[in-house]
Amino acid sequence: MTRRTLALLCLLISGLLHAQDPATITAQARNYLNTLTSPEFHGRGYVNNGQGIAAEWIAAQFGRLGLKPVKQDFYQPFAFNVNSFPDSIGVTVDGKRLVPGADFLVDPASGRSEGSFALVHLAPSDLFNPERKAMTLGVLSGKAACLHWPSTTNKDSLQRFHELERELMHYGPVVKPVSGKLTWSVAQESLPFPLVEISSAFLTDSSATIDMHVRNRMLVRNPARNVLGMVKGRSKDWVIVSAHYDHLGRMGPDALFPGANDNASGVAMLLSLAEWFTKNSPKHNILFVAFAGEEAGLIGSEWCALDRPIDLGRVKLMVNLDILGTGDDGITVVNSTAQQAQFDRMVQMNTQRGLLKEVKPRGPACNSDHCPFVKRGIPAIFIYTMGGVAHYHDVLDKADTLPLTEFADLHALLREFIATIK
Ligand SMILES: [Zn+2]
């Protein structure tokens, strides 16, 4: 071997190793995260078609990485109704203008209300008794109901409060002080009037008037797409690796929900694993699925499990990834109790390699996209990271504060675990 050939060989090997080193994997994930959470993706929701932009970007990544479509292209289209808030939202309490997203949120099922309203302060006793309730509703005409619920963790009480809120949203605008963090969501329906959740620092028993400008836009049969790409294996069986790419989007132009941890982090892992398996041919076919509509109620995964783009009877395991941005305390594996052998294998692998602090078991829970598959008897687990920052469904779930602490270690564990599924 000449010195020149040797040098070339060294360069080639170092190049290969470089492509696999933990720092490169994390840096690549950081790039994915920055793109998915950028303002141009609009929080991957329903204002300015953020979710559609994200779908196209992911399909382009699949193409670049060399994944193959299962059908004619990478998309699996469907549609669902979803409420959205494209217009500017303004809330002012007793002359103080509040900051959308930070000081207040509108309930995702909110309707429209514009104007100045006197606040009528209500306690459960004003609404629980039917006669009192009829009187209360009479008083509310042209005013806004301000609900003061006692703090409780009792599920029945919380359910009752929730039902009363929904009912009042048919009569007029409703507001509610919230102590602790504001957490947003997505709704498939809209009620006639808004419910505004206001941080308790800005809404008290003595607050007198509220100015609100809340306008929703109900999107009927809004188009959405799961993005599917495959890597061919040597067997006829399948492994599914999935992560939802949708998030909450925008609440008006001023409040952006970037969804870095939930779930740009999972999409970053999905893309990183896809790249790995295009270079390291797997035993079983691998279907990579980026789901839409998760936050609106697991709609994309439900559609995928019904529409069956592949023979789901041949799925060895589905590994769903949702919230992978930390890992200081390891990972939790949901539904591991139903997949004990697979779980034991993962734990053993992790111990041998000395990767994560803990691989923790958890029973079944219908809390992410694995659920519609589990319900149909397809073996599936759902993995999320534990510890570190805990921003969730709020404007603070940003890329620049998401550490990706254990991303590379989890990548190492997952690629080995997936490659050795029997
Ligand atoms: Zn999620």
What's the CATH code of the domain at 41? 3.40.630.10
- Helix, strand or coil, per DSSP, at residue 154: coil
**What pLDDT, on a 0 to 100 scale, did the predictor assign at position 4?**
57
Query: How many other β-carbons are positioned within 10 Å of the β-carbon of residue 259?
Result: 33
Total count of domains within the chain: 2
Instruction: Round the average pLDDT of the chain to a whole number and report it.
Output: 95
Domain end, chosen from 165, 181, 214, is at: 214
Determine the pLDDT at residue 17.
45
189 occurs within a structural domain: yes
Instruction: Report how far ligand 1's centroid is from the alpha carbon of 208 (Å).
Output: 38
> Which range of residues forms the domain containing residue 178?
90-214
The percentage of the chain sitting over the pLDDT mark of 70, rounded to a whole number, equals: 95
> How many residues does this entry show for the chain?
422
Q: Look at residue 396 and tell me whether its pLDDT is greater than 60.
A: yes
Q: Separation of 297 CA from ligand 1 center, angstroms?
A: 10
46 and 116 both lie in a single domain: no
* Greater pLDDT, 234 or 389: 234
Residue 240 bridge partners (DSSP)? 287, 318
Distance of CA 187 to the CA centre of its chain: 14
Residue 422: other Cβ atoms inside 10 A: 10
State the pLDDT confidence band at 389, using cuts at 50, 70 and 90.
confident
For ligand 1, the distance from its centroid to the CA atom of residue 234, given in whole angstroms, is: 32
Question: In this predicted structure, what is the pLDDT of residue 2?
Answer: 55
Q: What is the pLDDT of residue 15?
A: 46
Confidence of residue 8 (pLDDT cuts 50, 70, 90): low
How far away, in angstroms, is 70 Cα from ligand 1 center? 25
Residues 16-48: pLDDT tens digits? 444 579 999 999 999 999 999 999 999 999 999
Residues 72 and 169 in one domain: no
How many angstroms separate the alpha carbon of residue 325 from the centre of ligand 1?
12
Query: Which percentage of the chain shows pLDDT scores above 90?
Result: 90
Q: What's the mean pLDDT in 321-348? A: 98
pLDDT tens profile 113-152: 999 999 999 999 998 888 999 989 989 999 999 999 998 8
Whether residue 199 sits in one domain with residue 232: no
Q: In this structure, which amino acid lies at residue 183?
A: T
- Residue 380 falls inside a structural domain: yes
Task: Identify whether residues 247 and 327 lie together within a single domain.
Answer: yes
User: 266 and 126: one domain?
Assistant: no
Residues 275, 411, single domain; the answer is yes
- Residue 82 Cα to ligand 1 midpoint, Å, equals 17
Are 185 and 261 found together in one domain? no
